[in-house]
Amino acid sequence: MAKGMRVKLNYVVSRDPDTGAEVTRLTPPEVTCHRNYFYQKCFFNDGSHLLFAGEFDGHWNYYLLDIAKAEAIQLTEGAGDNTFGGFLSPDDSALYYVKNDRTLREVNLQTLAEREVYRVPDEWVGYGTWVANSDCSKLVGIEIAASDWTPLNDWKLFHDFFHKGPHCRLLRVDLESGASSMIHEEKIWLGHPIYRPFDDNTIAFCHEGPHDLVDARMWLVNEDGSNVRKVKDHAEGESCTHEFWVPNGSALMYVSYLKGKQGRMIYRFNPDTGVNEAVMPMPACSHLMSNFDGTLLVGDGSGTPVDVKDTGGYTIDNDPYLYVFDVAQKSYFRVARHDTSWATFANSRQVTHPHPSFTPDDGAILFSSDKDGKPALYIAKLPGQRTLLQA
């Protein structure tokens, strides 16, 4: 198989044993497939097509699924795709992704023609998830000095890399011309750069590493590199993680958890006022994402975090559920079991993570799981009968 080849999928529909929700497995459990990162656009605006990664061709490449036809077309080929960071353009015309940690590429979804938008200089390595602004005219990304770089294939390497203090820089790339400029650099591990939706002047990024060792995880910077500021001072024993912008740009939301505590807290930060607000408590979810206006949130129950140094101090019971949180009611309900292992698989720390997000109509949840074999894609409809819970 190669770019342009088509794969016919056989969906498997079941009922969740605990909630009764309809759950559809889209991809076969004998072929590694996963979704992109949870805040990157993966659905067409009308919900008709879905971007995902699959190993049908022997490599992890991008595919575009026509959901009604259960047929996927291969968009990329060969080794080296960053299959977590890719995203669809707002007008559903193109895929953007990074190849071999070196080149940012654009794929025309009609013709499958591919062009190199930007090439990382030889002395740097393209790292992590690169995120576009709202009109997809530019994006922000992280580059790490090649002399400091180590492939982060497991959690021990993740921990070790933090202590190295790698030279990192946050840059902006124009998606039309490929011109780039540096916004911010430090001799500290930087990650998760995200433009604030509808506000190109505000960019969030993080200090990466074991959550209980970083000084403060979440930071903001103006696009011109000025006004670097901290989102939150961590309390004693507090870790923060998986921050994201509400898609309408109203707030930065994130998960906070405390050493020795089972539950977690959802927070919302207003970048205009600088106020952090505790939204509601929640079960021990790892990732969190909202619908467009932040009225609904979805999280994936998890176990003891692996991205802390003191795992004994943060030990928690494993939680196998997907949850939807109603912010106005400060209540939540179980959607379905994800039952993923959270294991490192095929040299990837991320591929078994659910990374849940809403479908465009807010009626279902997209997630990854290895519960049936190798990692696969699932869509769980929100259950009709919902037992509202309070944390």
Residue with structure tokens 């079991």?
337
Summarised one tens digit per residue, pLDDT across range 6-25 is: 999 999 999 999 999 999 99
**Distance, CA of 315 to CA of 269 (rounded, Å):** 27
Cα–Cα distance measured from residue 139 to residue 131, given in angstroms and rounded to the nearest whole number: 5
| Residue pair 383/333 in contact by the 8 Å Cβ criterion | yes
Q: At 59, list the tokens.
A: 């490599």
* Best CA proximity match to 124, nearest among 106, 140, 141: 141
Percentage of the chain with pLDDT > 70? Answer: 93
Alpha carbon distances (Å) from 288 to 202, 256, 274: 21, 11, 21
- Residue 308: pLDDT band with limits 50, 70, 90: very low
pLDDT, residue 155, reads 55
Kindly state the DSSP code that residue 308 receives in the 8-state scheme: S
Q: Name 261's Cβ contacts closer than 8 Å, sequence gap at least 6.
A: none
**What is the DSSP pairing of strand 114-119 with strand 124-132?**
unpaired
Record the pTM: 0.93
pLDDT in tens, 79-100: 999 999 999 999 999 999 999 9
